[in-house]
Amino acid sequence: MRLISMHSPRLLVAIVSAVFAAGCATSGTRAEQEATAKRARSHFDIGVDHVNNGRIEMGLREFLAATALAPRNAQYQHALGASYVQKEHYVEAEQHLRLALEIAPDYHDARFNLSVLLIGLERFEEARIEADRLYVDPTFPGPWRALSNRGWAEYRLGRVEEARATFALTRKFNPGYWPALLNLGILESEQGRRPEAIQLFETVLAQRPGPGAEAEVNFRLGEIYVSLGKRSRAVEYLTAAVVKAPSGQWGKKSEAALKLLR
């Protein structure tokens, strides 16, 4: 499972207006606050454009500028945290995601990304709690996403049957949600239920979720067929994984597996 749920550098953040308390400020002070807000917003918008076009470092610089000008803006803190994840600065990422939630406890994107970050850091109980908070929140638009994270955390905590039940609930909400199908496929494969795993993985491939995910699924199918003694099928899937992501983690693992089969 990938560390963060943004499968590309694109930041999935909603565009909302920054809120600044005017109080009883004079017109001069109010004008200064508005100018500061506009500058912060400009840095944020430029940062989003950089990140959406793969320029993570430049985006990070703009988000730092935005949060310096508007430190109590949850959207800017979330964007900064998400960018730190992309740069694998996980301590800073967690700090800013949690700050976004301190400012806006109902910020769904921030809590979802925090749960995925905690999974990647193997802090599974914390991840389970954050994912469950999203699931029980009736305003969260996509409970199956939260359930998929909760199920994965439960599985990694050794709570296999709870995880199966959670993934079953995930599929009731959204039968075609491929991250949950992938997670459940891994569970079934590791629990020795190969036919169930093969069916789940094939369902994921049929959705064409993208090169990285497809490479992982092909690798895992190749592993299963190796264990079943079906060398030609294993080679087929492992080769597909290399083609999908030759320089990625799963492509490289598949290439190594193919060398052992030759």
Along the chain (262 residues), what's the average pLDDT of each consecutive run of 10 residues? 37 36 59 94 96 95 97 97 95 98 97 96 97 97 97 98 98 96 97 97 97 97 96 96 96 96 86
Q: How far apart are CA 193 and CA 191, in angstroms?
A: 6
Q: 239 to each of 66, 176, 210, 231, how far by Cα in Å? A: 45, 26, 16, 12
Residue 262, pLDDT score: 82
Residue 26, pLDDT score: 60
Q: How far apart are CA 253 and CA 217, in angstroms?
A: 12
- The predicted model scores a pTM of 0.84
Chain CA centroid to CA 235, Å:
30
Residue 4, pLDDT score: 43
Chain CA centroid to CA 82, Å:
10
First to last CA, the chain: 28
Q: How would you label 79-98 residue by residue, b for 16+ Cβ within 10 Å and e otherwise?
A: bbbbbbbbeeebeebbebbe
Amino acid at 220: R
If we measure between CA atoms, which residue out of 124, 176, 101, 120 comes closest to residue 145? 176
Residue 27, pLDDT score: 62
Q: How far apart are CA 149 and CA 239, in angstroms?
A: 29
